[in-house]
Amino acid sequence: QAFLSVTSILDVAVFRDLIVLEDLVEEMKKQSPALSFGPLLPDGHIAVQGSFPALRVLREFLLLKAKSLSDKDKREGKSHQRLRRKLQEHRGATETKNSVRDAHREKQVVVLDTDIYQYMRHFLPKIFQANDVVVSGVTDGDITTVCIESAGRKTAAARGVRVRETIESYSVELQKILRKERLCFKEPSRGEKQRYKRLCERLKARYPTVLIIPYDTHVDVVGQSADIFEFAEQVR
What tens-digit pLDDT sequence spans the chain (236 residues)?
A: 556 667 778 888 888 888 889 999 999 998 888 888 888 888 888 888 887 778 878 888 888 888 777 766 655 554 444 544 444 444 444 444 444 444 456 777 788 888 899 999 999 999 998 888 889 888 877 778 888 888 767 777 888 889 988 998 898 888 888 998 888 887 777 888 888 888 888 898 899 999 999 888 888 999 998 999 999 888 88
Q: Are residues 27 and 42 in the same domain?
A: yes
Residue 60 lies in a domain: yes
| pLDDT at site 158 | 84
| pLDDT at site 2 | 54
| pLDDT at site 68 | 79
User: What total number of domains does the chain contain?
Assistant: 3
Q: Are residues 172 and 227 in the same domain?
A: no
CATH number for the domain harbouring residue 150: 3.30.1370
At 202 the three-state DSSP class reads helix
Residue 119 lies in a domain: yes
Of 133, 149, 178, at which residue does a domain stop? 178
Residues spanned by the domain of 35: 5-67
User: The whole model's pTM is what?
Assistant: 0.59
Q: Are residues 145 and 113 in the same domain?
A: yes
Residue 91 lies in a domain: no
Residue 31 lies in a domain: yes
Residue 210 lies in a domain: yes
Q: Which residue from 92, 91, 94 is spatially nearest to 48, judged by alpha carbons?
A: 94
Q: Are residues 162 and 197 in the same domain?
A: no
Is 42 exposed, middle or buried (CB count within 10 Å of its CB: 0-12, 13-18, 19+)? exposed
| pLDDT at site 48 | 87
CA 216, chain centre distance (Å): 26
The Cα–Cα gap between 165 and 133 comes to 14
